[in-house]
Structure 1
């Protein structure tokens, strides 16, 4: 599961690290509002100069910030309606083949991204939309596995270990991708990682089993323990899903709205961190990749430790599960919001900016152990379906926030980032308030057999 999420986020982040190298000097707002390709250049500006022996020769495109924002958002355009059927089908037929199919489709399409970019913006956006739908099958369908594999008291630990693959994938592609862009050219970001992800998809079909009963190597004691701990939940949601009761459920609405608000900020970080470092801090491609990867390197172990801490507090009955979810969510929202608002005022200090970005990446992951894991608490039997429902709200945020960010940066290069951070903080805090008031961590009446 960790390797699967690793593959997905190398594919989600590949354009984030490649975009500064793909555009003509990051297509500053003063440039024409054009999206046509321009011939490869042998004379990049001095800030992005590469070693003479490894001069990168790759196409450069005249995409302004608005066009870049649309391309970065395109991954989410086709995913608004895909999560619900993905979660539902995975809950009925099992996650192995639903997730595996999405993993194969998205991985195979990755090496074709440079060709699509050469052909034109329209084809590139279409390819990214198809990839987004395939990735939705992966990120949504995998949650039905935990219904059959994760004992309730171990759920926080197991899911956060698997989800930490998203941070590991982001860290690797940002740290290596910047070097690839600076030496052999940005297309190799897609060729190399696309090949690796295709190999990972083959491992999925070899290693993953639907439940402990069908696993050929699990010990008898572990199998009996897992099956007994999950017996009261039921192993499948069946064909009937209580839609009417879900619509009336205020705790569910609190989770969905909070997911939208949290992912508004998260998608800005995913899409624009390399661009922010490249333009605001004026780092070259290689160092912008390294600086973008460093916060994720710190966030990877803290994400796992957050899940372990939540599991410890819950299993030892130190705090109620409802308190744990709300406490972790509040910390994961308020501290990063404050640091984001301070970023425009410390931009002159590279070390302070980098320290803030590291703290933001480390602390914001507490939301993953808080509200974003809460649907498994309120309805474990429908966790894949509800994960799909929450993905709709998160993908909606992902389809809007990068485009809005590109618009503000295009309108005002000096104050655009400040406005982006203010809007993200306002949205984030509004979602937190709603969750603190309405959120619950007990199994809801409509989620029982």
Structure 2
């Protein structure tokens, strides 16, 4: 079987290719996912800082609007992840059956609606705030696993990394935009405006996603015949309606799967530590005001949002040109990123000056973007048709840092002092290093035997040509 390279649009007109429309809208979906998640990290600084408050009876007091100690704040910041961890595997399982598009859109829509009522619930009772954040986590928990169900139908094998990383980079752009914007909204309009703004924005995105994106290429009325044939042939004619049975025993015994899961945990430990604690660290140790805190906290994620799509493009090119195998690409990008993060996290622990610390953290988080061309796409390599549930498994374990890190930080950083914060950075560095060693030893970029059994998935002509390496270095999909 031969795949014909019939171009319908110039290569640079990627927005007319429907798979890139899906990836772009998924990018904005993850933008909203993280904006809805990170908003409380900035809002809680405004909610608990000392200020002049006029009570209903006219009495003027000076103090925080919400008198929560560091331990309570740790539980509030981690509460989202109590719900988030419960729906990872379920989200992957459901999306494999009814489609990732529906699950992805519904998960963000419910989270956005709950975000709109967050200020009212917080003013009533701290336990209601905890409850709504847990429920938000339940619905956002399906988003990462189900997006792999979308890619299983839309992403040609040699474009998986660039399409997936383009979408995932929306998470970090959302963080970059949300942190300074949340700080601005809190200072200008009050902290409740943070939740009203981002909740409304996410609901608008949901409407667009629901109208524009189809569940599969076959269902998209605007896709060209050439692109439809290209996607179907490159995926080996996978039947999207075929009922998939997941071999859980083999999955749980697979070291390549656990290599991905351990890496997912390691990357998320450092990421969630900074996501939830960086604004506090900058205010307490670096003495930044709220406005500068929001802006400076966003710098590491700005670096990551730039690196992720670049790394995805480079990773795919290395495979297309036959320079490296899929396994080599995944290990190089993943382990290289983790080593860099280990070094720069240790640097942040030792420097502890505004310029030096921000530089180290920006490099640590930014270079970590290369890891997303490693472990995050690796789910699709080892078991394409099971990728959504594997992502659910990985993200379940990867959510534990979101629960544990803020609580541990709340118990360690109590005074606060620079020495206490150094311990936080030491822990993150050690976990990055362990993830590097484990992934480098056990990871694989090949489809696993248990994922082939009873499946119609096998190497397509495009993949076979890529595996031939130097004999077909010039091969490149143009559709």
Other structure's SS at 2:430 match: helix
Change in CA separation of 1:67 and 1:435 when aligned onto 2, cut-off 3 Å: same
Report the counterpart of residue 181 of structure 1 in structure 2. Answer: 186
Deviation at 1:392, TM superposition (A): 0.5
Instruction: State the TM-score, normalized to the length of structure 1.
Output: 0.90
Change in CA separation of 1:42 and 1:345 when aligned onto 2, cut-off 3 Å: farther
**Mapping of residues 13-32 of structure 1, within 5 Å:** 13-25=38-50
Deviation at 1:413, TM superposition (A): 2.9
Q: Is the 8 A contact 2:42 2:279 kept in 1?
A: yes
2:121 matches 1:116: yes
Question: 2: distance between equivalents of 1:219 and 1:209?
Answer: 14
Q: Is the 8 A contact 2:148 2:388 kept in 1?
A: yes
Question: Per-residue CA shift, 1:104-151, capped at 9, x if unaligned?
Answer: 100101121111211122111110010001001222212100001000
Deviation at 1:414, TM superposition (A): 3.3
Report the counterpart of residue 383 of structure 2 in structure 1. Answer: 379
Question: 1: distance between equivalents of 2:60 and 2:306?
Answer: 41
**Aligned partner of 1:410 among 411, 414, 436:** 414
Q: Is the 8 A contact 1:111 1:195 kept in 2?
A: yes
2:274 matches 1:274: no
Change in CA separation of 1:255 and 1:171 when aligned onto 2, cut-off 3 Å: same
Report the counterpart of residue 49 of structure 1 in structure 2. Answer: none
2:247 matches 1:242: yes
2:363 matches 1:338: no
Deviation at 1:428, TM superposition (A): 2.0
2:160 matches 1:135: no
Q: Is the 8 A contact 1:237 1:382 kept in 2?
A: no
2:32 matches 1:7: yes
Report the counterpart of residue 300 of structure 1 in structure 2. Answer: 305
Question: 1: distance between equivalents of 2:384 and 2:310?
Answer: 23
Report the counterpart of residue 450 of structure 2 in structure 1. Answer: 446
**Aligned partner of 1:92 among 94, 97, 101:** 97
Deviation at 1:97, TM superposition (A): 1.6
Report the counterpart of residue 370 of structure 1 in structure 2. Answer: 374
Question: 1: distance between equivalents of 2:40 and 2:98?
Answer: 33
Deviation at 1:295, TM superposition (A): 2.6
| Between 411-420 and 356-365, the greater mean CA deviation after superposition | 411-420
Question: Per-residue CA shift, 1:343-395, capped at 9, x if unaligned?
Answer: 233223x2222222221221011111112221110000111111111110011
Question: 2: distance between equivalents of 1:428 and 1:353?
Answer: 18
Report the counterpart of residue 317 of structure 2 in structure 1. Answer: 312
Question: 2: distance between equivalents of 1:208 and 1:413?
Answer: 50
Question: 2: distance between equivalents of 1:270 and 1:439?
Answer: 27
Question: 2: distance between equivalents of 1:245 and 1:233?
Answer: 22
Question: 2: distance between equivalents of 1:222 and 1:415?
Answer: 57
Deviation at 1:292, TM superposition (A): 1.3
| Between 93-102 and 408-417, the greater mean CA deviation after superposition | 408-417
**Aligned partner of 2:108 among 103, 108, 115:** 103
Q: Is the 8 A contact 2:48 2:67 kept in 1?
A: yes
Q: Is the 8 A contact 2:85 2:141 kept in 1?
A: no
Q: Is the 8 A contact 2:318 2:324 kept in 1?
A: yes
| Between 425-434 and 81-90, the greater mean CA deviation after superposition | 425-434
Deviation at 1:248, TM superposition (A): 1.4
Question: 2: distance between equivalents of 1:239 and 1:396?
Answer: 28
Other structure's SS at 1:216 match: coil
Change in CA separation of 1:39 and 1:230 when aligned onto 2, cut-off 3 Å: farther
Question: Per-residue CA shift, 1:388-413, capped at 9, x if unaligned?
Answer: 11110011221111111111112653
2:432 matches 1:428: yes
2:362 matches 1:358: yes
Question: 2: distance between equivalents of 1:414 and 1:175?
Answer: 24
**Aligned partner of 1:72 among 77, 85, 97:** 77
Provide the alpha-carbon RMSD of the alignment: 2.1
Other structure's SS at 1:318 match: coil
Task: List alignment gaps of at least 5 residues for structure 1.
Answer: 27-36, 46-58
Report the counterpart of residue 398 of structure 1 in structure 2. Answer: 402
Q: Is the 8 A contact 1:235 1:381 kept in 2?
A: no
Instruction: State the TM-score, normalized to the length of structure 2.
Output: 0.85
Task: List alignment gaps of at least 5 residues for structure 2.
Answer: 1-25, 456-479
Q: Is the 8 A contact 2:96 2:244 kept in 1?
A: no
2:202 matches 1:197: yes
What is the aligned length?
425
Report the counterpart of residue 419 of structure 1 in structure 2. Answer: 423
Change in CA separation of 1:406 and 1:221 when aligned onto 2, cut-off 3 Å: same
